[in-house]
Homo-oligomer: A and B are copies of this chain.
Amino acid sequence: MNNLKQRRTIRKYSSEDISETFLTQLLTEAERTPTMGNLQLYSVVISRNSEMKRRLAPAHFNQPMVESAPVVLTFCADSRRTTLWAHQRKGNPGYNNFLSFVNAAADALLYCQTFCNLAEEKGLGTCFLGTTFYNPLSIVETLALPRLVMPVGTITLGWPAESPDQSERLPIESIIHSETYCDYTPELIDRFYAEKESLPANRQFVEINNKETLAQVFTDIRYTRADNEHISATLISALKHQGFLD
């Protein structure tokens, strides 16, 4: 994983395809990821067909890589396979609840990240789309996801055709806590965010958005309270629709 230090999100891909054999090999190797009770509470839907990618795009706010990537993968929390298996084996499955969703979502996301680490080690470029939680029922409909299956992560995948700047990260001291959570004082916040705020790209980002601070770009434009509250309600409805909440 020496490549990790140079990792960039890749949104532009060459026209070269990813062979089914190679993709299946990577997905198989990623199965070694730990999974709850070894139940593998996840499924992956592979989109290669242009029409299917076109139909997926609106759920991801029409970000262009959804249609331009040779492969789009939707990772799903899946309690359905286990439930069908248990019914067929005289079991009494009780996986239509919130805990089961959370367990399955964790399984799916851990699996997704191992897949991405593997794919990037082989030279593929990926873009993780957090938008999966924003319009889940649109994805459910497009991919025909039945009850007890919920999309939790999407990646676009292809051979890189760009080499963007690497995005900055916070100093590790701001992430780790020894023994107990050491809450952030105003001085610590200033110290931990100083570099991020001073970067020319981020200063420009503030300017073009006509804001006073970088944080305001996030709270007032990108991820606002009103949007977050609206989407929270949508997401809870989707969990009910898929059978994970009463």
Contacts and interface: CB of A to CB of B under 8 A. Distances in A.
A84 B167 contact: no
A121 interface: yes
A126 B88 CA distance: 34
A219 to B, nearest CB: 4
Interface in A101-126: 102-103, 105-106, 109-110, 112-114, 116-118, 121, 126
A178 B181 CA distance: 44
A68 interface: no
Contacts of A236: 98
Given A128-B34, A153-B106, A43 B89 contact: no
When all copies of this chain in the complex are counted, the total is 2
A94 B177 contact: no
A71 to B, nearest CB: 11
B232 A98 contact: yes
B37 A152 contact: no
Contacts of A180: 45, 52, 142-144
Interface of A: 1, 4-5, 7, 9, 24, 27-34, 36-40, 42-49, 52, 76, 80-82, 84-86, 88-95, 97-100, 102-103, 105-106, 109-110, 112-114, 116-118, 121, 126-128, 130, 133, 142-146, 149, 152-153, 167-170, 172, 174-181, 183-184, 186, 189-190, 192-193, 212-216, 218-220, 222-226, 228-229, 231-232, 235-236
21 contacts: A27-B172, A27-B176, A33-B113, A34-B116, A38-B168, A40-B175, A43-B177, A44-B175, A44-B176, A45-B177, A46-B176, A81-B189, A86-B215, A86-B218, A91-B219, A99-B229, A100-B228, A102-B105, A106-B133, A110-B128, A143-B180
